[in-house]
Amino acid sequence: MELTDPARKELASISSALLSWFYENHRDLPWRNDRTPYSTWISEAMLQQTRVTTVLDYYPRFLKRFPDPSSLAKASEDEVLKLWEGLGYYSRARNLKRGAEYICEHFGGELPSDPDLLIRIPGIGPYMQGAIASLAYDIAIPAVDGNCIRIYCRLHSLPLVASEQSTYKEIYQRVEEDLPKDAPGDFNEALMDLGSLICTPRSPKCEACPLHENCSAYLLGKQEDFPAKKEKKETPTEDHTILKIYVGNKIIVKKRPASGLLAGLYELVDIPGILTDSEVRAFLKEHFSGIDRDTDIRPIGKSRHVFSHLKWNMLGYEVHLPASFEKEAASLGDAVSPKKYESLAFASAIRAYR
């Protein structure tokens, strides 16, 4: 499509206004100060669905332990997950390790600059491909995320649902048309900052936005109507009883399956449903001989955790058994020493009972 002169001027004004704002107001973030393809990959993986303030603590620790793809590829999954503990969405950490192994096997331990090769790496999708290519290699390719979709839906008053694939394609094309060839990484980062700081999902700071004069939604006074809202389904809820069982000074733990929710992480004994004290005793009697009314079982409170698609309501108990029960504990998991226990990666969902 060939642009008319007015359209060219509008695109130029959007690009120049956004970049001018960014150069004056950009956030001082550690991954921007010493940018490499690898550090860009790590930071962008951490920043997916996670607040910047949270990532600030994890990013330097992760890079110190894994300064390059080779060190990450050689690490055990348990060690990678332990460093990731608390960030959530643990598939990101597993994908980083898988991606590092692929990079070492196919690209000599260095992330390639060719976007068509980047997209082949496990865990790197279109957004990550665009971010690494533009930010680290200065290649003119969009990096379209939720912030970008929200900005462009408002800018052009597009009643699109953010999560739909057709929306992604539409926004990608529009960003590609606006993308300055001489500063693609800065433009993509400017959109990231604008969406995080100004064009927020609720209560956007429109008067401070460098694009408000070009923004259709602002001119209509309907900023929060875009993107279009998708009808929310009620989030299902599960009840769990969590048992922190001591056998002597050891604690019973179990590693979750390699796929599915909280894959590969460790957990305490987890029983479906909310159990009473007497029901906990009945459960323990099924696994340990000699359980009686004098067995030390202490309630340790209620907790709740909200996943992206699921809610857990939990009730915890601490159980103290003699060391002689360790052999029977094998039916519930592994009895590990306090030192080993501290080295394991547990899901944030059960942090209240750690």
Which pairing describes strands 269-272 and 266-267: parallel, antiparallel, or unpaired? Answer: unpaired
CATH number, span 5-225: 1.10.340.30
Q: How confident is the model at residue 13 (pLDDT cuts 50, 70, 90)?
A: confident
Q: How confident is the model at residue 11 (pLDDT cuts 50, 70, 90)?
A: very low
Residue spans per domain, the chain: 5-225, 237-353
* Distance, C-alpha 134 to centroid of its chain: 21
Assess contact for 337 and 329: CB atoms under 8 A.
no
Domain 237-353 has CATH 3.40.718.10: no
Rounded CA-CA distance 258/281 in Å is 30
Question: Residue 287: what pLDDT?
Answer: 92
> pLDDT tens, 76-111?
999 999 999 999 889 999 999 999 999 999 999 999
3-state helix, strand, coil in the chain (%, to 5): 50, 15, 35
Rounded CA-CA distance 196/185 in Å is 17
**DSSP calls for 52-119:** HHHHHHHHHHHHHH--SHHHHHHS-HHHHHHHHTTS--THHHHHHHHHHHHHHHHSTTS--S-HHHHT
> pLDDT tens, 222-241?
999 999 988 778 889 999 99
Rounded CA-CA distance 47/129 in Å is 14
Q: Do domains 5-225 and 237-353 have the same CATH topology?
A: no
Catalytic residues: 44
**Residue type for 306, please?**
V
Assess contact for 193 and 27: CB atoms under 8 A.
yes
Question: Residue 347: what pLDDT?
Answer: 87
* Residue 62 CB neighbours (<10 A): 23
Q: Could you give the C-alpha distances from 306 to 218, 309, 313, in angstroms and in order?
A: 33, 8, 9
**Whole-prediction pTM value?**
0.85
Assess contact for 47 and 29: CB atoms under 8 A.
no
**DSSP calls for 107-126:** STTS--S-HHHHTTSTT--H
Q: How many CA atoms lie within 13 A of 232 on its CB side?
A: 7
